[in-house]
Structure 1
């Protein structure tokens, strides 16, 4: 099925006003009522800078959809739930959203461990879920992603590349470009951290590198023992599988112990908070997709976001959330067909419509394979320079 071109090839001018409005539809006919776009994300706590950028980007997409009367007869509204980066809280949030008969689908979450808890809740209700940030390969391919891939949840999709792309890209860049082959691998024990660390380690071996130490340390545990084990291995670099609130302090602790090698991580550490928490000059990170500011198609989005007056930054996943929202809206329009009447019985049609989606988003072409993974696989390398993350270039 071809996407309705106006849904993603958006006219992004004239989107001023304050954030959080979800639009009023202007002269649109909204006599059929309101349809709800759900969002589950970390809106409080250490990862709130990510979640708030996702929330605002979804709001901007819905505001623009209402302005162009995207769903004939209906007004769209975003209902956001705070998962606090906690799986149980995320599952409860999804359950709350699922009880609303006007819910057309759910965006998020960000954390892969939360996504694991949300997936069965929405699947049981037949509600489509599009994550703009959960990158663990196991979410779509199961535990045996290579030998016996299994898609357990037909309702789950994502608009970001998986750790099966990102982890190997980081290993290849580190060995080929940075010439660092003796790497200590530290991970946080969570779904995302373990998954990307494993993918990195596998590719490192393929590149002729060596994991000289492998340490798992849950957030909040003692850091001294981790630093001692890593320092004793005398690595050229340290790969951290986890998120920036723990990654930054780890980098600082390694430096304090006299180990001045770079810390490398995935998209979980590419956040301004990493540097604030102790990340050092020269540390490296990878993130899925190109920076929105570098994409011609995304410039209008960036400008419109700023003009809307949101108090929070776009963040690493604003662009992919904007795309995910438009995929959901466009797929709902096509699922409703000519009669245009919504009811929960339409939800399986929305799932099928997302699966058949083909269109151009601000992050690039969008379509989904049989596992629900997005077809694009771009990875960008970043380095801490001058106290902030700066773009090095594509990983390949």
Structure 2
């Protein structure tokens, strides 16, 4: 049965060597059956554009290579990108636009967890698979009570990155290991920021640390009130749950207190320094640094050769892998169909094929648990040194 098809491939090897079941001996692909669309939803403008553009370019590279190797026999693949501006309402509108296209085979995205919350129901109700290369909030796969009563709401939603249930504790463990015993926690009120701050606070307490203050500083708010509150509690460090456009100004405002700010992947961005981040600040990010991954050299070389203006960034490799998960799964479903024709009626089979996916991406092994979470949970701790984020250690 096509719907029960198990996909077991070395995705990175297929993508970067040009091998695939639909390949042609003369180097030309049969595309007589038309075009299939891979969607992407990411922040392509605004403060988070340097992340979203790297995501878009990396997914585009995956699609180009899939076409070069005739990945889906009889079809040409194209990427259609939509800008969500990091805004949930804009993301929902983008999802509705993409979902109206009967040639859409799946969506790569989103980056922001808050945007995912509005995109999930649109794509889920249409039966369209979504593979995120950047969402980390645990509730997206396990619901509002992820520990006591985990509940997966959308069988169409998957992600190839570790969650805040890994990142937050990793940050807590690191601060405890370097002798920080009292930490003030500030978060931005958004889905991602609150989630990672909660996970940090829970773990820091188990390590014998004390959260001396917990405060919400809404995104876009001047940090003065937070700095005054932090100063009164005399912590050893501040943990910030949020993105770099607000984390940088908060760090700069804290400079007079002589304590570091630590955050999650939302601040581990080159523009954090421009926004006000200071040397000695710390951050965590999902996975090992791309440049250290054994399977990533071909991706990096191909990305540079393609001539994209923007860096692939910290989510490019994950976006490349997410796009390949979608395309490889669709290829298997179409191959298993007698006539090799795509139709929207195959979308449930694609969802099941992604669920059973088992392959090696450039970011590492990729398979999904019953909630749609990837099996690997590596997190890297970084320190800001001389204006650059330097990897300290990767765990596990």
Alignment TM class, shorter chain as reference? over 0.9
Using the TM superposition, give the Cα deviation of residue 137 of structure 1 relative to its aligned residue in structure 2, in angstroms: 0.2
**Corresponding residue for residue 275 of structure 2:** 277
Give the length in aligned residue pairs. 383
Is 1:158 the counterpart of 2:159? The answer is yes
How far did residue 26 of structure 1 move? 5.7
289, 296, 315: which is aligned to 2:313? 315
Task: Note the 1:253-332 alignment, pairs <5 A.
Answer: 253-255=253-255, 258-332=256-330
For residue 393 of structure 1, report the CA deviation from its aligned partner: 1.4
- 1:120-159 pair list within 5 angstroms: 120-159=121-160
In structure 1, the residue corresponding to 2:16 is in which secondary structure? coil
Q: Distance in 2 between matches of 1:229 and 1:391?
A: 31
Counterpart in 2 of 1:19? none
Task: Give the SS at the match of 1:43.
Answer: coil
| Equivalence for 1:65 | 66
Segments of structure 2 that go 5 or more residues without pairing to the other structure are: 19-25
> Counterpart of 1:168?
169
Aligned Cα RMSD in Å?
A: 1.3
CA contact (8 A) 1:170 1:395 kept: no
Asked whether the equivalents of residues 10 and 361 of structure 2 are also in contact (C-alpha less than 8 Å), the reply is: no
Distance, in Å, in 2 between the alignment partners of 1:179 and 1:3 is: 46
Corresponding residue SS for 2:266: coil
Secondary structure of the residue that 1:38 maps to in structure 2? strand
Residue 369 (str. 1) matches residue 369 (str. 2): yes
- Preserved CA contact (<8 Å) 1:43 1:51: yes
1:221 deviates by 1.8
Deviation of 1:4 after TM superposition, in Å, equals: 5.2
8 Å CA contact 1:113, 1:190 repeated in 2: yes
Cα distance in 2 for residues equivalent to 1:170 and 1:247:
16
TM-score (norm 1): 0.95
The Cα of 1:292 is off from its aligned counterpart by 1.0
Q: Tell me how far apart the structure 2 counterparts of residues 261 and 293 of structure 1 sit (CA, whole Å).
A: 30
Kindly provide the CA deviation profile for residues 58-81 of structure 1, in whole angstroms up to 9, marking residues without a partner as x: 000000000000000000000000
TM-score normalized by the length of structure 2: 0.95
Q: Secondary structure at the match of 1:93?
A: helix
Secondary structure (helix, strand or coil) at the match of 1:286 reads strand
**Structure 1, 117-126 or 338-347: larger mean CA deviation:** 338-347
Aligned to 1:218: 218
- Corresponding position of 1:8: 12
Residue deviations 1:95-119, cap 9 Å, x none?
0000000000011010000000100
- The match for 1:21 is none
Q: Is the 8 A contact 2:11 2:360 kept in 1?
A: no
Confirm whether residue 114 of structure 1 aligns to residue 115 of structure 2: yes
The equivalent of 2:346 in structure 1 is 346
Whether the aligned pair in 2 keeps the contact of 1:380 and 1:395 (CA below 8 Å) is: yes
Cα separation, 2, equivalents of 1:121 and 1:379? 30
- The answer to whether the 8 A contact 1:41-1:110 is kept is yes
Asked whether the 8 Å contact 2:186–2:197 carries over to 1, the reply is yes
162 and 107 in structure 1: CA distance in 2 versus 1, 3 angstrom threshold = same
| Alpha-carbon offset, residue 11 of structure 1 | 5.7
Q: Is the 8 A contact 2:184 2:212 kept in 1?
A: yes
Moved more, 198-207 or 26-35: 26-35
Cα distance in structure 1, aligned partners of 2:10 and 2:200: 39
Aligned to 1:20: none
